[in-house]
């Protein structure tokens, strides 16, 4: 197990992970990256559904391996009385339990907070669901796409003349997992003062609503739901992708001082004093005119030239990279953001562990994901005294 001086800030924290696929496993992977002992409870036979989700290499799911790095696998059939009793004994000895069943399923299996907490009043029990543990939509099945649609996020993603667009990653699941990890850390801190655990209720819907700070500020200001604006920032201008001679480049200006420098950079210093461009609001209102002036400049240059000149002028700029290019970038390499894990079934596997840096703590490459049930005997012996 990791120690505090090598990144193990959760050393000594024991987690029972009853979750599947993405939101819960992502949460517990983040905790495992910081030294928590995560025991993944899986059903016999197929285990976590993510084991059968691609992409695959040599019959093994890369997706599962990334989400379940550094965990131990315990097989329990929670439909059997014997295994439910074993779970009760295990829950009495751990610090945290994470589940993402549809509301009501954990109670049906005898694995809910009300059943498990009497034997362990210090238990921090985290439930992740699409819409929360109560309310008129609580029982609805939910996937990331469903919650992106239900939260309004899709309505502001995409181009004005196109349909609503899903974000390119399953952000509803991931941010719910992230908020759950944050909630668990807060609950562990509170437990140090009170001695008591708690039940944490995290919904994907509320998690995505909480992310929409700019959109909610617009709603407050106008009383109208904001619409789609493509890659453009809905409030600040220029803040968008622009055409260079060999591709697209992102430019972002957030204040008047920056815009004065930018206007000079593109050869139009007079724009800073022009009432049509003298404020963020005015520039946004006159965005098409400003875009034409910007692209008259950027189209004569390559992406690299635009980025170089903008950076020298103190203007934020970037090429539009794909994931392979981003992971190969010099900043990622310098900070060792990505690590290479030697996985016994998958071979060399690229991972991006939790990204937070703590002074005095060295980031470690997580251990590989477990084979189904590989740790059942050891877990049962060590934690339950069986």
Tell me which residue of 94, 119, 99 sits closest to 109, measured CA to CA. 99
Cα 365 to Cα 27: distance, rounded to the nearest angstrom: 17
What is d(CA 113, CA 127) in angstroms, rounded to the nearest whole number?
9
Residues annotated catalytic, as ranges: 233
At residue 37, φ and ψ (nearest 5 deg) are -90, 105
The token pair at 216 is: 């909610």
Helix (H) / strand (E) element for 9: namely none
Q: Residue 27, SS3? A: helix
What six digits make up the tokens of 10? 């959760």
- Of 206, 211, 202, give the one whose Cα is nearest residue 182: 202
Partner residues linked to 14 by β-bridges: 37
Structural tokens at position 318: 């970037």
What is d(CA 1, CA 35) in angstroms, rounded to the nearest whole number? Answer: 6
What single-letter DSSP state applies at residue 6?
G
């Amino acid at each position: 197990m990791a120690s505090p001086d090598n990144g193990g800030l959760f050393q000594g924290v024991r987690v029972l992970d009853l979750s599947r696929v993405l939101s819960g496993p992502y949460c517990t992977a983040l905790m495992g990256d910081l030294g928590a002992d995560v025991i993944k409870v899986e059903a016999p036979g197929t285990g976590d559904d993510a084991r059968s989700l691609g992409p695959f290499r040599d019959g093994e799911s890369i997706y599962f391996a990334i989400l379940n790095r550094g965990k131990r696998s315990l097989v329990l059939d929670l439909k059997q009385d014997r295994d439910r009793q074993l779970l009760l004994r295990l829950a009495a000895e751990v610090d945290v339990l994470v589940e993402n069943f549809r509301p009501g399923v954990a109670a049906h299996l005898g694995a809910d907070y009300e059943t498990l907490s009497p034997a362990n009043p210090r238990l921090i029990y985290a439930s992740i669901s699409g819409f929360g543990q109560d309310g008129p939509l609580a029982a609805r099945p939910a996937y990331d796409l469903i919650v992106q649609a239900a939260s309004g996020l899709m309505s502001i993603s995409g181009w004005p003349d196109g349909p609503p667009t899903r974000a390119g990653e399953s952000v509803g699941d991931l941010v719910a997992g992230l908020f759950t990890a944050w909630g668990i850390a807060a609950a562990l801190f509170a437990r140090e003062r009170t001695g008591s655990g708690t039940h944490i209720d995290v919904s994907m819907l509320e998690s995505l609503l909480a992310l929409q700070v700019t959109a909610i500020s617009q709603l407050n200001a106008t009383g109208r739901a904001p619409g789609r604006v493509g890659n453009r920032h809905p409030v600040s201008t220029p803040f968008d992708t622009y055409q260079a001679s060999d591709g697209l480049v992102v430019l972002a200006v957030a204040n008047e001082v920056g815009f004065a420098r930018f206007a000079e950079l593109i050869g139009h210093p007079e724009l800073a004093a022009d009432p049509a461009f003298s404020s963020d609001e005015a520039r946004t209102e006159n965005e098409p005119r400003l875009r034409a002036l910007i692209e008259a400049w950027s189209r004569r240059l390559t992406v690299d030239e635009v980025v170089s000149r903008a950076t020298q002028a103190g203007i934020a700029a970037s090429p539009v990279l794909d994931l392979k290019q981003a992971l190969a970038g010099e900043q990622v390499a310098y900070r060792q953001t990505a690590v290479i894990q030697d996985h016994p079934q998958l071979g060399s596997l690229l991972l991006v562990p939790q990204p937070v840096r703590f002074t005095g703590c060295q980031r470690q490459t997580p251990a590989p994901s477990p084979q189904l049930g590989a740790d059942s005997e050891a877990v049962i012996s060590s934690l339950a005294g069986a």
